């Protein structure tokens, strides 16, 4: 298993990974939607505003995560982790946690002080995130499940 930043040549494999993982975990429409979002993120985000990391088993991409920049009124380096996918056949083997920890390590080396995410606090607490109240940091959009807002610093 190897972890690294993604390359331009990985884009199609990454798109397929998100499409299949979210089609299986949610629904076909969701898989297509998330895969489209991921392609847009890779194609339209400035290099300084995005980090993407992949896990490879030989040449096959089996996991992928993205962090994109969040801007606040104060000068702080903050990124949001989303989305995250691990190939269905490789899930529950610790790959998601290893990949997130790898990504957080690279962010820290690049001076990023804060990472946020929005998801299952039980899962994200395994990689150092804890729930954060909207009184502390206001989410950029209305959240149906505000308890899913987590921070890592
Ligand atoms: C969520 C996901 C990235 C986790 O990756 P993973 O490599 O399977 O996770 P790990 O093996 O590192 O960690 C395992 C833990 O994650 C949690 N977990 C994994 N899959 C889960 C799922 N489908 N539902 C709830 N919790 C899950 C559990 O707490 C599990 O621990 P346990 O086996 O002791 O109960 C992966 O399951 C996935 O791609 N799911 C579909 C897409 C998704 O929901 N992405 C997150 C939102 S963007």
Tens-digit pLDDT profile for residues 7-37: 999 999 999 999 999 999 999 999 999 999 9
What's the pTM value of the predicted model, to 2 decimals?
0.94
Taking the centre of ligand 1 as the mean of its atom positions, its distance from the CA of residue 71, in whole angstroms, is: 28
- Looking at residue 101, its pLDDT comes to 98
Q: Position of tokens 């395994």?
A: 126
Answer whether residue 140 shows pLDDT above 90: no
Please choose from 86, 103, 120, 145 the residue to mutate so as to test ligand 1's pocket, defined by most ligand atoms within 8 A of CB: 86
Closest to 61 (Cα-Cα) out of 53, 49, 69: 53
- Looking at residue 121, its pLDDT comes to 94
Count of domains forming the chain = 1
Identify the residues whose C-beta falls under 6 Å from ligand 1: 21-22, 25, 82-86, 91-97, 119-120, 122-123
Tens-digit pLDDT profile for residues 73-129: 888 899 999 999 999 999 999 999 999 999 999 999 999 989 999 999 999 999 999
Sheet containing strand 2-5, strands side by side: 2-5, 50-57, 60-70, 78-86, 114-118, 149-152, 130-131
The residue segments making up the domain with residue 69 are 2-152
């Amino acid at each position: 298993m190897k972890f690294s930043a993604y390359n331009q040549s990985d884009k199609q494999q990454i798109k397929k990974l998100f499409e299949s993982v979210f089609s299986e975990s949610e629904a076909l429409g969701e898989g297509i939607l998330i895969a489209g979002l991921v392609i847009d993120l890779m194609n339209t985000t400035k290099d300084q505003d995005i980090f993407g990391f992949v896990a490879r088993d030989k040449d096959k991409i089996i996991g992928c995560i993205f962090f994109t920049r969040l801007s606040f009124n104060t000068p702080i380096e903050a990124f949001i982790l989303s989305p995250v996918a691990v190939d269905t056949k490789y899930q529950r083997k610790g790959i998601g946690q290893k990949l997130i920890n790898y990504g957080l390590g690279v962010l820290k080396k690049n001076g990023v002080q804060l990472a946020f995410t929005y998801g299952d606090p039980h899962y994200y607490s395994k990689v150092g995130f804890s729930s954060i109240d909207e009184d502390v940091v206001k989410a950029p959009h209305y959240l149906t499940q505000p308890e899913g807002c987590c921070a890592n610093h």
